[in-house]
């Protein structure tokens, strides 16, 4: 590990960055972190088996800033990287920068202030987030006024949140450092569901504090509404967080997810997986006309 903090002073915020093969895009992210008005942070960056110059980019920043610490692991498993970074985190709060996200200079200042003013909150502060297009124009915006009472259900229906827009108390993630909790750390959709289930959301409000940009046409994994990882997260949460959402509501959401994934696969030229997803949609909602229509479209017309 490089870049040990000088003087033994503990940081206020530990920034957890787990990444791989993103050398080309890390410069802007690191610039945004170092431009934060709140400078009592440490960055624990973990490179997970990159084949490009990601590790070199991170180490170059660590050489010039004692607040940056770098680790390298051979595994590409995000859960291993996050657990390793969490074991080294010394801040009172945690935040999760990523290569897709550029923070405004006031991001940490505003979110830390919000949590400082709410000592009874164990939880999450949510910042508004602008989703950018390829030309950096704002395509849509994730809300910053989510309520804890509805956020878990909202996440079951569709992506509503990104990890990079959160600031949480360090103690919240302690349970996930235990053996057997790997899935929650490995899957971004699952981690967001777990967090919103376990903690109260205190909205930050105001203007957008995070700009989410596409990388090679791809947004962060937790914004993909029909990814395989999202389906796995919904089913895992339903099984391992009893009562997290009403059963009937969850089945409707899973039916909608699998129908949507089936349509997406067909649009992109697939058939086999599309059929399986259409069948799973009917498993969760047997009498749903739109699911039957999708299944028959695949079987009869091949699309």
**For 104-161, how does the pLDDT look when each residue is reduced to its tens digit (9 = 90+)?**
999 999 999 999 998 888 888 888 899 999 888 999 998 876 665 578 899 999 998 9
The mean per-residue pLDDT over the stretch 266-293 comes to: 92
Average pLDDT taken over every residue of the chain: 91
Residue 20 to residues 36, 75, 128, 190, 195: CA-CA distances in angstroms? 24, 10, 26, 20, 24
Distance, in Å, from the CA atom of 23 to the CA atom of 99, rounded to the nearest integer, reads 9
Would you list the DSSP string of 34-85?
Answer: HT-S---EEEEEEEES-SSSHHHHHHHHHHH-TTEEEEEES---HHHHHHHH
Q: Helix, strand, or coil here: 14?
A: strand
Tell me the β-bridge partners of 16: 44
> Where in the chain are the domains?
6-128+143-209, 247-301
CA 218 → CA 129, 131, 159, 221, distances in Å?
A: 16, 12, 15, 8
| Top-confidence residue, 4 or 242 | 242
Pick one of 3.90.550.10, 3.10.620.30, 3.40.50.261, 3.20.20.150 as the CATH number of 6-128+143-209: 3.90.550.10
As given in the structure block, the two tokens for residue 21 are: 């093969």
User: What is the tens place of the pLDDT at every residue in 219-232?
Assistant: 998 999 999 999 99
Residues ≥6 apart with Cβ < 8 Å to 180 = none
């Amino acid at each position: 590990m490089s870049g040990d903090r000088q003087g033994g002073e503990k940081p206020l915020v530990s920034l957890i960055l787990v990444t791989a093969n993103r050398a080309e895009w890390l410069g802007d992210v690191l610039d945004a972190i170092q431009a934060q008005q709140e400078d009592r942070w440490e960055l624990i960056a973990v490179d997970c088996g990159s084949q490009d110059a990601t590790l070199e980019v991170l180490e170059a920043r660590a050489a010039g800033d004692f607040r940056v610490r770098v680790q390298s692991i051979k595994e590409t498993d995000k859960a291993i990287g996050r657990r390793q970074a969490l074991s080294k985190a010394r801040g009172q709060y945690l935040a999760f920068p990523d290569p897709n996200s550029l923070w405004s200079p006031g991001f940490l200042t505003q979110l830390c202030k919000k949590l400082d003013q709410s000592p009874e909150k164990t939880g999450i502060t949510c910042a508004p987030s602008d989703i950018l297009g390829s030309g950096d124009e704002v395509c849509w915006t994730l809300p910053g006024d989510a309520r804890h009472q509805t956020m878990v259900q909202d996440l079951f229906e569709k992506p509503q949140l990104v990890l990079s827009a959160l600031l949480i108390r360090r103690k919240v993630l302690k349970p996930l450092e235990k053996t057997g909790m790997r899935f929650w750390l490995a899957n971004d959709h699952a981690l967001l569901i777990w967090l919103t289930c376990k903690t109260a959301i205190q909205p930050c409000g105001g203007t957008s504090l995070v700009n989410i940009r596409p990388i090679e046409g791809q947004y962060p994994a937790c914004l993909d509404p029909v990814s395989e990882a999202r389906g796995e997260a919904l089913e895992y949460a339903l099984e391992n967080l009893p009562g997290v959402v009403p059963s009937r509501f969850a089945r409707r959401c899973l039916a909608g997810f699998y129908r949507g994934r089936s349509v997406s696969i067909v649009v992109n030229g697939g058939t086999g997986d599309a059929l399986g997803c259409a069948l799973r949609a009917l498993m969760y909602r047997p009498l749903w006309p739109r699911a039957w229509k999708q299944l028959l479209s695949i079987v009869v017309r091949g699309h």
